[in-house]
């Protein structure tokens, strides 16, 4: 029986692993399908303390993994399909056909990029529709592309894409960016980025080969419809928390974010803790996720010493 299983391998998961490993709990991490979490799909991280010159997201995650393993954390590349609580208070997890048994569980499963839900969307993913500029930006050199959204992610993606694309349209449903001031200014000052204000994408248009060729736009103010030719659409409209597999073990809000005990990482199930973006719809930063991972580890440790 494991002392603690950490589900998810982003900032929250690795920090929980570092702390529980240093407390001699020999944590087992089940990483899921995107080890390293959202930072593996980002470029430079400029606001993680300790890196005055910035650090690339994937490198930061590799370093966190090395740090966790150095203290004895075990990392298994498996996705948890189900979890149940036994009568003795322990947890049974099924992951890729294997069963794991643990006294405590830290859910640090993060959140997945949201899409618009337009017809034909699934077929176009990977054919000119994506939510990862870092992964796919370099495929679209010297062609026009667009980014949907007005937050920090959208601005970061738009800025990054100007390295490759001939033009980057930033399609936003309002006429003011939600992004932080520094990001918004960077985007609005970039001559290769053209904001398309008060507009929503109502249709993706594919060519004969099934590749993206344009989007249909609706201007919410003028009510006019138009077409914009783009070779790729980068969607950056927020995320969906990965909490569904926990079922009734956790209480969630209307958007699926896990509700923790006030000021804590404890959930409604004793021995089950939640950390990072799966529970945090407010801060959603790498450093706050790491902080929650630390808090969850300390709570798990105290729970174990009390039982």
- Our finding on whether 173 is near ligand NAP (CB under 6 A) is yes
- Our finding on whether 236 is near ligand NAP (CB under 6 A) is yes
Confirm whether 132 is a catalytic residue. Answer: yes
- Our finding on whether 287 is near ligand NAP (CB under 6 A) is no
- Our finding on whether 200 is near ligand NAP (CB under 6 A) is yes
Buried residues in 247-270 as b, exposed as e (16+ CB within 10 A): eebbebeeebbbebeeeebbbebe
Coil, helix or strand at residue 196:
strand
Q: Which of 81, 135, 225, 253 is catalytic?
A: 135
CA distance 68 to 216: 47
The closest residue (CB) to ligand NAP is: 151
- Our finding on whether 10 is near ligand NAP (CB under 6 A) is no
Cα distances from 123 to residues 119, 148, 205, 210, in angstroms, run: 9, 18, 12, 8
Coil, helix or strand at residue 82:
strand
Which one of the spans 20-28, 79-87, 122-130, 230-238 is the region binding ligand NAP (CB under 6 A)? 230-238
CA distance 192 to 165: 9
Helices vs strands, H then E, count in the chain: 7, 19
Which one of the spans 73-81, 186-194, 219-227, 231-239 is the region binding ligand NAP (CB under 6 A)? 231-239
Q: Which of 136, 152, 159, 280 is catalytic?
A: 136
Residue number, 160 or 164, with CB nearest to ligand NAP: 160
Query: Within 98-127, which residues bind ligand NAP (CB under 6 A)?
Result: 116
Query: Within 44-73, which residues bind ligand NAP (CB under 6 A)?
Result: 47
Confirm whether 135 is a catalytic residue. Answer: yes
CB of 1 to ligand NAP, least distance (A): 37
**Smallest Cα–Cα separation from 14: which of 58, 49, 80?**
58
- Our finding on whether 280 is near ligand NAP (CB under 6 A) is no
Which one of the spans 73-81, 135-143, 233-241, 291-299 is the region binding ligand NAP (CB under 6 A)? 233-241
Q: Which residues contact 162 (CB under 8 A, 6 or more apart)?
A: 168, 190, 192, 193
- Our finding on whether 32 is near ligand NAP (CB under 6 A) is no
CA distance 190 to 52: 24
Catalytic residue positions, numbered: 132, 135-136
Binding residues for ligand NAP, per CB under 6 A?
Answer: 47, 116, 148-154, 156, 173-174, 178, 200, 236-238, 284
């Amino acid at each position: 029986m494991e002392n603690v299983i950490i589900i998810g391998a982003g900032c929250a998961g690795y920090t929980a692993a570092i702390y529980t490993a240093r407390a001699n709990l020999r944590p087992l991490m089940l990483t899921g399908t995107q080890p390293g979490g959202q930072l593996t799909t980002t470029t430079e991280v400029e606001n993680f303390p300790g890196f005055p010159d910035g650090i690339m997201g994937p490198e930061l995650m590799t370093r966190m993994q090395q740090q966790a393993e150095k203290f004895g954390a075990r990392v298994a590349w498996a996705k948890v399909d189900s979890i149940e609580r036994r009568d003795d208070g322990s947890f049974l997890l099924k992951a890729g056909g294997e069963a794991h048994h643990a006294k405590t569980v830290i859910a640090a499963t993060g959140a997945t990029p949201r899409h618009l839900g337009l017809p034909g969307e699934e077929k176009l993913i990977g054919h000119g529709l994506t939510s990862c500029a870092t992964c796919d930006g370099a495929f679209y050199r010297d062609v026009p592309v667009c980014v949907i959204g007005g937050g920090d992610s959208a601005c970061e993606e738009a800025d990054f894409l100007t390295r490759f694309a001939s033009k980057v349209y930033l399609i936003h449903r309002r006429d003011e960016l939600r992004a932080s001031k520094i990001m918004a200014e960077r985007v609005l000052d970039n001559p290769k980025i053209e904001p398309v204000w008060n507009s929503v994408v109502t249709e993706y248009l594919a060519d004969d080969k099934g590749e993206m060729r344009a989007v249909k736009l609706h201007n919410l103010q003028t009510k006019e419809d138009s077409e914009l030719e783009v070779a790729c659409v980068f969607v950056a409209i927020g995320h969906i928390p990965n909490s569904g597999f926990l079922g009734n073990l956790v209480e969630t809000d209307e958007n699926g974010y896990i509700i923790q005990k006030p000021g804590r990482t404890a959930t409604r199930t004793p021995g089950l803790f939640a950390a990072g973006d799966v529970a945090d719809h407010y801060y959603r930063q790498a450093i706050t996720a790491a902080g929650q991972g630390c808090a969850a580890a300390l709570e798990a440790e105290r729970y174990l010493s009390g039982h």
